[in-house]
Amino acid sequence: MEDVASRRRRRPILACEPCRRKKIKCDHDVPCGPCTRSRASYCSYPDCNDDLVPKKQRSGEGQSDISVASTTEERPLPAPISVPFSLPLSGSSESPWFGSSVASSSSGSRCSLPPSISQPATNTTFPGTMNSRLIERRDSFTARGTFLRGRFYGPSHWISFYQHLPHAESDYALYQDYESLVSSPSAVGSLSRTNSWKFTDTIPSREVSNQLVLAYFRTFESVLRVLHVPSFIRECQQYWKAPQDAREEFLLQLGLVMAIGATFSPQATVGDQCIALWIDAAQDWLRDTLTEANINNSDTTSSSGREMVQIFCLLVEARQTRNTAKKRPGLISADSLVRAAEHVGLHIDPSKLPGLSFFEQETRRRLWATVQELALQAAVDEGRPSLPLRIDDNGPAPLNLADEQFDTHTTITPLARDDFTHTSIQIALHKSFPIRLAIASAINDVSNDVCPYEQALEMSSRIMGESREVFAQIQGRASGFAVRLCELLLHRFLLTLHAPFALHAHVDPTRYYSRKVATEVATSILRHCSHIDTDDFARLLRQGSEMFAHVPVLAASILCYDLADAEPFSSTLVQVALPVARTSLQKLVEAYLHVLSLRILDGSEEVRPYVLLSAQLARIVAAQAKQTIDNRLVITRTMQLCQRMQRGQSAEPPTKGQQVESALTHSSNSDSAGSGDSFALMTQSLSSDPTFDISTEHLDNGVSNSLSEHDSWMIGFLQNE
């Protein structure tokens, strides 16, 4: 009996350490089921091959066997293989949009006995078996995001959220079946790359040119600083005196500035072909400048390198303001913009670079902040991590200086001002850049684990605080365009951060806060993106690239998800106010569908958001009326409507809800009597929530889109002969 008790355990240890300590059955998973259910702090497996041979043999065994056992080297146990619980778990309720689903491994490796117990323990390699199990689990992770038609849409792309809406998969399949109905509008053909035309011949009259330049100054230049306005305007005056002496870099900058300003000056008589020529000319010049031979062999001066990046930034902005420019051939991207800026040293603190004047230093600070902003927004818009950007490369913020405080001849550093200047908005955005980059990395880096909810709440609190500071600085001082653009650039990160967690609010009450935030932010964004006005921001939403459509489309998808959810948090206390709240949210979605139809009329080739959101809204209306709907009929009629709008056969877009009502199988005149949910509770309780403060009162302060009092000096420059 004594010999049996002294014998070492021959069977390999298959259970994890917590299960062995608690003496419960372990399912040998990684992590195991009991540890998952008990939310254990760790789940680790020891090295199961250590010292399988007993130290003492039973009496009667040969001396040779004892000698073999005695020569076995005693080795310390290696560190256990620990599995952190930030990894996705089997059976987890996390969405594949923000979390990875892990397939259960039924054929995972198991520790087995060696062929002979007399064989030295060093011949068996059980740790490798456990490592292979972890590798298999890692390789079985499903990438976060959506893969459609050969393209991967990252988690921040609106398609990744739309896939969770009811019948989204069938709607998209029907859209693909009838996609051939939509004829792509004929794009302006690529211009011949010859010298048969002169760039100066395409520049309009001085009056029209000044109008386009001013439109650019009051819009994009007020938020994303690229040019030193007094220097640029003085060069414009020199150009009108001697056009033949104008530098090539200035002509390209002038053409791109006018291309951007044309979006906000519909009364200016500038043709689309002329705008396309300016964009093409800058694109060709950059392609030649950014070739490997030129980058590595040319002696680039500080000013020429800075002007090259300025042209690059203006080109990116020009393509963003034209919904047809992105379809034109070109290899210019935001990532290549970052690399070009780093090539000329914009990511380095200019005060550490020798031989730079104050004008060059301050212009570089502003330009690098703009490069970072453009690259970050492009990465989130495309649903991918911004690989060239790093938080530690944020660099020093620009000084709060007005443009007229310095020029190329400034030798003494001016004092930064405390009041609002032309650079105040950029400084405020630059301060929030690290947290926004962290959010973008956490959302779109599909190679990493899911973002823990506690970390998401922490980032949410930080971005809310940064947003409050930004709007406190610009409220009542900046133009309406600048305020609305800042709201779009900031709140899209808050919306994308909470959207995936909001999907699980109906099964996990701890996620209710995310649904509340996502609904409120989506409502705020759509409220200011659904007006058919004639101001600058409305024109940007109508004629801008997909960047200015994806954020509102994501917001509309979130509201459709809320409207489609019959009883997310039913409560008799809020049922009286629910019909009003549902109607308000539904009208916002209908209003933005009207904006999308206007984009199609203006030549946008992207009809997918309009078709898919129309199908969702038609289904919501039918459910409220307790009627049936034919999905195929909705998709078909909407695609036919898009075809007519693209061909110019429809002079006016459909009225709000017209395409929805026509798709219903039966009459939908009855009032909707939807089940109770918590929309009213969401919108009302946020006003009393001290941790959530995204005030939009500044949007109703009556600030016009014209030049503010700080910009009156620009007119003097333009009028000065």
Question: What is the pLDDT at residue 153?
Answer: 62
Q: Cα angle vertex 375, ends 371, 380, to 5°?
A: 150
**Mean pLDDT lowest for which of 191-200, 260-269, 569-578?**
569-578
Cα gap 277→280, rounded to integer Å = 5
Rg of the chain in Å (alpha carbons): 31
User: What is the pLDDT confidence band of residue 159, given thresholds at 50, 70 and 90?
Assistant: confident
Instruction: Quick: pLDDT tens for 206-250.
Output: 999 999 999 999 999 999 999 999 999 999 999 999 998 899 999
Backbone torsions φ then ψ of 419, nearest 5 degrees: -90, -175
Q: Tell whether the model's pLDDT for residue 348 goes beyond 90.
A: no
Mean pLDDT of all residues in 353-379: 91
Distances (CA, A) of 658 to 227, 295, 595, 637: 45, 55, 14, 11
**Mean pLDDT lowest for which of 265-269, 336-340, 559-563, 705-709?**
705-709
- The percentage of residues in the chain with a pLDDT greater than 70, rounded to a whole number, is 62
* Boundaries of every domain in the chain: 1-142
DSSP class of residue 141? B
256 or 54, higher pLDDT: 256
Q: Tell whether the model's pLDDT for residue 605 goes beyond 70.
A: yes
Mean pLDDT of all residues in 29-48: 74
709 or 555, higher pLDDT: 555
Question: What is the pLDDT at residue 451?
Answer: 80
Return the H-helix or E-strand segment holding 483: helix 480-502
511 token code pair: 């996620």
User: What is the pLDDT confidence band of residue 698, given thresholds at 50, 70 and 90?
Assistant: very low
Instruction: Quick: pLDDT tens for 5-26.
Output: 555 556 777 888 888 888 888 8
Cα gap 604→550, rounded to integer Å = 13
Q: Tell whether the model's pLDDT for residue 345 goes beyond 80.
A: yes
Question: What is the pLDDT at residue 425?
Answer: 93
318 or 134, higher pLDDT: 318
Contact assessment for residue 558 and residue 161, using Cβ atoms and an 8 Å cutoff: yes
Print the SS3 string covering 244-302. Answer: HHCCHHHHHHHHHHHHHHHHCCCCCCCCHHHHHHHHHHHHHHHHHHCCHHHHHHCCCCH
State the average pLDDT for the chain.
71
